[in-house]
A and B are shown apart, each in its own frame.
Chain A
């Protein structure tokens, strides 16, 4: 359950985040030595955009504390499900190159399915595996793309490749 008060906090975080991003862009641009002698260098737009970010961030902060916000009456959010989906994606990109497309994507599928209330883990894993294998075969052999096989698998299938 998320209350109106935490929605305001969320809006404040967004505003603060934009101000921080604006500051980061300005600092990074200042630290980058400028090259070239064009009339307008590569630093002008970063400064303009960082200025815009700070202004918008300030106006959001003002709205967060004194103005109209979305869902001011609060909004129920199942943050556990959000965390599970996010974790599934993180596991996939962390394991993709070592384990390969098929196992890491199967884990992603099962994690997301669980987050949406699918309780039969074995069935979800099986469907995930089938989908991952199907996409791997279609895209790598049918469409000539390069989904990773996984460094572990490569080492197993060609042991003398060192």
Chain B
């Protein structure tokens, strides 16, 4: 009841004409930027940060909620029509979605993705409404030792789950952790690794690193591969509506995708990659014609897209109630909170209820707006795919440099952006995932803070992490996640070296 009252209050905040306007602007630009090839949700949120600087926090986060959901919708359009998934959660959608587009059923693929996203998003937002306060209660049981263990687990899952090899994931993670060290130490005020550059004392901004890796690094990579790869865009033709058969084949996958997506999204399990993949496997197992999978089965679009959106809502639960980002997009949202001097967690629910609940309420509203924007207006968004590539990527870099410069109004951030972009290009060529770097950069300093607090409370006794049961359990899970696959690989090694090569061009930057 308490929750419903809080949510009702949130709706009053979100439904004021002023905030409604920002929500509508958020979903529209979120969709528009999310549709652009090469731009996933993480980059969409990062690039649109400067737009919110002039707003007060509540309106800014209502707009962010819209951008976040809008970018998820927009991303599915790109993966279906262009076979260019903007983030790992859309890889699975791209397989059958693009196959459907090739057969002239692109409109139906987009429709099942949009309606599925709406249904999954609405159910998952409702689940978020009730799960987030429960997580806040859980968070109140957490001391520094438990927080530290939870952050270690999140860092481990993001690293171990994504990418082709553990060594490459760890390389990305440690690079992020190293970047996180730069600047003034929060507890002693001592400068670390600033090398006498005053602008580095404030640390390296997560947004600069994210834009550097996702936009600059990705643009450099696409520039290097541009001459060797051809794109196929399929125009929408024929009936735009889903047939009776499409509906009856879609609704169950929507619901099953939601059931998979939300719970896994709330866990520190790297966001949407696992649930979308699981949804694909489940649908294939249950389908009447599994042989159609990979050749344009509508279930294989409906299920994973629903799972993708449901997990996007799920990711917000640990982000809002524990301050724990479990995907690159969530890491940037956390950076946005910090930009406003806010720290997500139980205190945010106490001190800024209108912000938290206004944001959650606007997720419901954003979903409705997005359904309206995406079903009738899909033809308009498709036109954005036709922007000539030279102008598209030139524009992406203009907005990337704009975003990096306006963070602190200094050129040093542009130099950092450039360096990180070149590193990101190298990582992209070598198949090193970039998400662990972004999450490590923002979680590293927070984990260190909790670690030192825990030891200060225990007066230097390091056994505190293992004598607290929750902390011990979380650390053991984290250790198993790293050691388990290594043991498996070692045992399989007798059967020859597994090749980790994957087709180029189809993998997004995450």
Task: Tell me if A38 and B456 are in contact (CB < 8 A).
Answer: yes
Give the residue of B192, B399, B418, B459 whose beta carbon is less than 8 angstroms from that of A46. Answer: B192
Q: Decide if B411 touches A114 in the complex (CB within 8 Å).
A: no
How far does the alpha carbon of A86 sit from the alpha carbon of B394 in the complex, in Å?
A: 12
For residue B424, give the distance in angstroms from its CB to the closest CB of chain A.
12
The smallest C-beta distance from B389 to any residue of chain A, in angstroms, reads 5
Identify which of A10, A40, A77, A90 contacts B225 (C-beta below 8 A): A77
Q: Measured between C-beta atoms, what is the minimum distance from A154 to chain B in Å?
A: 15
Residue A153 at the B interface, CB < 8 A?
A: no
By the criterion CB–CB under 8 Å, are B500 and A49 in contact?
no
Chain A contacts with B in 125-150, Cβ cutoff 8 A:
127-128, 131-132, 135, 139, 143-147
Q: Annotate B364-403 by CB proximity to A: 1 below 8 A, 0 otherwise.
A: 0000000000000000000000001111011101110110
> Are A78 and B175 CB-contacts (below 8 A) given A46-B181, A70-B164?
no
Asked if B133 is at the interface (CB within 8 A of a chain A CB), the reply is no
**A105-B220 contact in complex given A45-B181, A78-B225, C-beta closer than 8 Å:** no
Tell whether B102 is near chain A: CB-to-CB under 8 Å. Answer: no
With contacts A60-B168, A82-B425, A92-B414 taken as known, whether A135 is within 8 angstroms of B402 at the C-beta atoms is: yes
Given A53-B178, A68-B497, A77-B224, are A89 and B397 neighbors across the interface (CB < 8 Å)? yes
Does B483 have its Cβ within 8 Å of any Cβ on chain A?
no
Any chain A CB within 8 A of the CB of B244? no
Assess whether B390 is in contact with A112, with CB atoms less than 8 Å apart.
yes
From A52, A70, A113, give the contact of B394 (CB < 8 A): A113
Nearest B residue to A64 via CB reads: B430
Q: Provided the pairs A14-B426, A75-B504, A139-B402 are in contact, do residues A117 and B177 lie with their beta carbons within 8 angstroms? A: no
Q: A52-B170, A113-B391, A146-B406 are in contact. Are A76 and B228 (CB under 8 A)?
A: yes
Specify which of A73, A85, A146 is in contact with B219 (CB 8 Å cutoff): A85
Main secondary structure of the interface of B (DSSP, over half): helix
Contacts of B351 in A (CB 8 A): none
Looking at B50-58, B89-97, B116-124, B473-481, the stretch in contact with chain A turns out to be B50-58
Known contacts being A36-B190, A85-B219, is A117 close to B167, with CB within 8 Å? no
Is B452 engaged at the interface, CB distance under 8 Å to the other chain? yes
Question: Is B219 touching A40 in the complex (CB atoms < 8 A)?
Answer: no
CB under 8 Å from chain B, chain A span 81-130: 81-82, 84-86, 88-90, 92-93, 96-97, 105, 108-118, 124, 127-128
A69 adjacent to chain B (CB < 8 Å):
yes
Q: How far is the CB of B404 from chain A (nearest CB, A)?
A: 9
Decide yes or no whether A79 CB sits under 8 A from chain B: yes
Residues A82 and B220 in contact in the complex (CB < 8 Å), given A29-B192, A89-B421, A105-B401: yes
Question: Can you name 18 A-B residue pairings with CB atoms under 8 Å?
Answer: A13-B426, A14-B427, A21-B175, A21-B178, A34-B190, A40-B451, A40-B456, A45-B181, A49-B444, A70-B430, A71-B504, A82-B224, A85-B220, A89-B397, A90-B418, A112-B394, A115-B226, A139-B402
For the complex with contacts A28-B195, A143-B51, 12 further pairs of A-B residues with Cβ separation under 8 Å are A41-B188, A42-B187, A45-B448, A46-B192, A60-B171, A63-B165, A68-B499, A70-B431, A70-B501, A108-B398, A117-B390, A132-B398
Q: Which 5 A-B pairs have the closest CB atoms?
A: A118-B390, A70-B431, A113-B390, A93-B414, A112-B394
